Amino acid sequence: MLASKPTIELIGAPQDLGQIHRGVDMGPSAVRVAGVIPRLESLGFTVIDRGNIECAPMTTVDEGDPSARYLAPVVEASAALAEVTEAAVRAGHFPLVIGGDHSIAVGTMGGVAAVEPRHGLLWIDAHADYNTPETSPSGNIHGMPVAAILGEGPDSLVQVGGVAPKALEDHTVIIGLHSVDRLEADRLRASAITFFTMHDVDMRGIPSILEESFAVLTADGVDHIHLSFDADAIDPRHAPGTGTPVVGGFTYRESHLMMELLAEADIITSAEFTEVNPILDDQNQTAELIVELIGSLAGQRVVKPGT
């Protein structure tokens, strides 16, 4: 759990091949510039910055099969990320991965699951990312990582890190859905995944949804939970710098409340924040918000209880 791991390894994954909008490869730099390291150090953590993994530029690789665009270089980058993430976990550190597009989650989970295969997965996103090449209308792999993590999709992607599946389907929770493809929705309803749309958030509120989510994630003694956060889960009024913005996402305070409740529950053992695109941003506003959310996840409060 983050609170019990005083050393955080910061890993940049400047992957932009999983989607079509250039600029998301600069996300790790934008988050660093926004002050993620001093923010974490001010909260008492030691931060080891591992730099960025190597990702092939889009201009140097072939798209390949349009149903799973850039599959080979995405797999290559994911394997490199899995290796660095696994080393962080084995060292007893907390891996914090900054993307890059959301296809990087396959690599992050490949690394953590190589050490602890019985993982729960908390996915906070406007999209389910549960497509396969057969159902995806775009062929963009950043819409497929949940499926790959749970063992479905191209074999080379599913096998990243040498373990498949990388998380337990009945311990997987998606929160924040408000843009889901038709065939993907059919797959989601037929799965064992627990999911909450923004309608559910409106009707029930964040605390109720997270209480149920914690019960699902930690049932049956599962005590390794990965958090995967997509910037497009936040309403674009607050986070304009992302490639697939959808109106109606989380507010500033709802986003912080989720991170604060996760910090209080202390169940997260690894995390990634993805899809920050500074080219589409307004004065690094989105990266700065992501740094604030990371701070809340790490325990930052206006006034801590008892102080």
Residue 302 CB neighbours (<10 A): 4
Q: How many domains does the chain have?
A: 1
H/E stretch holding 184: helix 182-190
User: Quick check: is 256 catalytic?
Assistant: no
Is there a contact between 150 and 113 (Cβ–Cβ < 8 Å)?
no
What's the CATH number where 52 sits? 3.40.800.10
Contacts of 248 (CB under 8 A, 6+ apart): 178, 198, 235
Active-site option among 16, 86, 232, 254: 232
pLDDT, tens only, 154-189:
999 999 999 999 999 999 999 999 999 999 999 999
pLDDT value for 304: 56
User: Quick check: is 232 catalytic?
Assistant: yes
Is there a contact between 226 and 109 (Cβ–Cβ < 8 Å)?
yes
Active-site option among 275, 281, 288, 292: 275
C-alpha span between 218 and 121 (Å, rounded) = 10
Q: Is the pLDDT of residue 203 over 90?
A: yes
Determine, yes or no, domain membership for 303. no
Active-site option among 76, 93, 101, 102: 102
Active-site option among 129, 152, 184, 235: 129
Reported pTM: 0.96
Determine, yes or no, domain membership for 191. yes
The percent of residues above 90 in pLDDT, for the chain, comes to: 92
Active-site option among 181, 230, 235, 281: 230
pLDDT, tens only, 257-290:
999 999 999 999 999 999 999 999 999 999 999 9
Determine, yes or no, domain membership for 304. no
CA-CA distances (angstroms) from residue 124 to 79, 195, 247, 255, 279?
Answer: 23, 10, 15, 10, 23
Burial (Cβ within 10 Å: 0-12, 13-18, ≥19) of residue 4:
exposed
User: Quick check: is 238 catalytic?
Assistant: no
User: Quick check: is 275 catalytic?
Assistant: yes
Determine, yes or no, domain membership for 306. no
Name the pLDDT band for 306 (thresholds 50, 70, 90). low
Active-site option among 93, 119, 127, 171: 127
List the 46-52 sheet strands across, edge first: 46-52, 7-13, 94-99, 268-274, 224-230, 119-124, 172-177, 194-197
User: Quick check: is 127 catalytic?
Assistant: yes
Residue 168 CB neighbours (<10 A): 18
Determine, yes or no, domain membership for 302. no
Q: Tell me which residue range forms the domain holding 107.
A: 2-297
Look up residue 133 and give its two tokens.
């090449």
User: Quick check: is 21 catalytic?
Assistant: no
User: Quick check: is 211 catalytic?
Assistant: no
